[in-house]
A = this chain, B = another copy of it.
Amino acid sequence: MQLIYEQSVAGRRGVRLPSSDVPVATPLSASLCRIESAPLPEMSELDIVRHFTRLSRRNFSVDTNFYPLGSCTMKYNVKALETAAALLAPFHPVTPLLPGGEAHAQGCLGMLYDLGKSLAEITGMDEVTTQPLAGAHGEMTGMLIVAAYHKAKGSKKKYVIVPDSSHGTNPASAAMVGYEIITIPTAPYGDMDLELFKAALNDETAAVMMTCPNTLGLFNPHIKEICDLAHEVDALVYYDGANLNAIMGKVRPGDVGFDVIHVNLHKTFGTPHGSGGPGSGPVGVKKELVPFLPAPRIVKTAKGSFAIEFENPQSVGRTANFFGNFGVMAKAWAYILMLGKEGLTEVSEQAVLNANYIMSQLKNDYELPYDQTCMHECVFSASRQLENDVHAIDIAKYLIDKGYHPPTVYFPLIVKEAIMIEPTETESKATLDEFIKVMKEAALMAKTNPELLRQAPVTMPISRLDETKAAREQNVCCPV
């Protein structure tokens, strides 16, 4: 397909502007003006509509394809949530910051407050900030809170411990806040090696960042012990709750002993991924960390109205322009309203059922490095297929030809040729069964016709791309 810039015709116009009802101002001084207008596309609305409509059709998406992408929770979100969020599109974030302005934004402020309370109840934390703009941003916010806590106590802490199975954002977020990272390997039983962890933990440990169930889809039975051990050295324990889909109504990180948690609303709570964002990563903390939450905070007054608390000397400060990704939170709030207590619990139950079902059906065909009951996802390895020189990526590309978005491959890094499958609770048995059939076909094909897998995909507008060329040439912008 042509780039939009390649379709541009000088002088063609798209959308027309409203006519002016004021006098034309004296022109800007030449020294302040741009010399040439920005070479943006010059196209009719029709050609723009066709361009983007056609582009859209070059994507797989949840609405068109099963998307069992591990660690990403590509569930279906009911359309009502999109419609709900759109109702709140016109409100200005500066309104409540004006003198007397809070009174004019009670709906929005109240919703944020209520969402925070619901998330606190779901995670077992005492208070939640909804400001962080994505999961990683939540992690960073959490680490800022950790740092502020230790600073307030006057303790000098240097290290953050993460298991090697953790998501890359965990060490990256801790590093953003200036911590050094200590990585603990995964033991053969599928969880962080407890002995190595104990050995690494010391007085300079600021925090331990855990994901539980971890990225192998396994629930760590020693999780409480880990929290307790950390607390003994006054290290805080961080829970990467990017994916709560397995545990709602079952376990609450707060009850277990975690001090800080972030949640990805764009995974568990009703927001589709938007091709990579926007997300929202609220952070929950225990009581003793509340003073460090980002400012401004939304509080409920004695009269029951909602106010913005600006003054908070111990706060880590502002982490986003305004109140975070409000539109995403509106969907999350609506989702929690619709599902309710029983619904959320059922989500976790069905997500776990679906994952275990797939695991049980495919373990004869693919190596299952950690053969235990899994939570919301399961991780296979293509090691058997490797014997025929078929890699995880080849199976992934074959699935594309069959109309499935591939599972996550090569993550977690600790599993060789990893194939990480998360079906989510919104998929029906019929869809799972079709997928299982195709995965079995792929395993068979790896033996009988491995070349077909290596050549896949062949049904897409393009075949496999030369990624080295992209990195080498760095053509990231269409030349004028």
Contact = CB atoms under 8 A, between A and B. Distances in A.
Interface of A: 7, 9, 12, 44-47, 49-50, 53-54, 57, 62-65, 76, 78-79, 426-431
A115 to B, nearest CB: 22
- Which 3 pairs between the two chains have the least Cβ-Cβ distance? A46-B76, A53-B63, A46-B426
A428 B47 contact: yes
B76 A427 contact: no
Nearest to A12: B428
B428 A45 contact: no
Nearest to A343: B16
A63 B12 CA distance: 19
Contact of A57 (B46, B57, B79): B57
Given A45-B76, A46-B427, 9 more contacts: A44-B76, A44-B428, A46-B62, A46-B426, A47-B428, A47-B431, A49-B63, A50-B65, A54-B64
A50 B63 contact: yes
Contacts of A78: 45
A24 B49 CA distance: 50
A430 B9 contact: yes
Contact of A426 (B44, B65, B429, B430): B44
Nearest to A14: B78
Contacts of A65: 50
A54 B57 CA distance: 10
A428 B65 CA distance: 34
A12 B350 CA distance: 14
A334 to B, nearest CB: 14
Contacts of A429: 9
Nearest to A426: B46
A62 B78 CA distance: 28
Contacts of A50: 63-65
A65 B62 CA distance: 24
Contacts of A426: 44, 46
A12 B79 CA distance: 18
A408 to B, nearest CB: 20
A316 to B, nearest CB: 39
B47 A57 contact: no
Contacts of A44: 76, 426, 428
A49 B62 CA distance: 10
Contacts of A46: 62, 76, 426-428
A76 B63 contact: no
A76 B53 CA distance: 13
Contacts of A64: 50, 53-54, 57
Nearest to A45: B78
A49 B9 contact: no
A54 B53 CA distance: 14
19 contacts: A7-B430, A9-B428, A12-B428, A44-B426, A45-B79, A46-B62, A46-B76, A46-B427, A47-B428, A47-B431, A49-B63, A49-B76, A49-B79, A50-B63, A50-B64, A50-B65, A53-B64, A54-B64, A57-B64
Nearest to A49: B63
Contacts of A427: 46
A63 to B, nearest CB: 5
A422 to B, nearest CB: 15
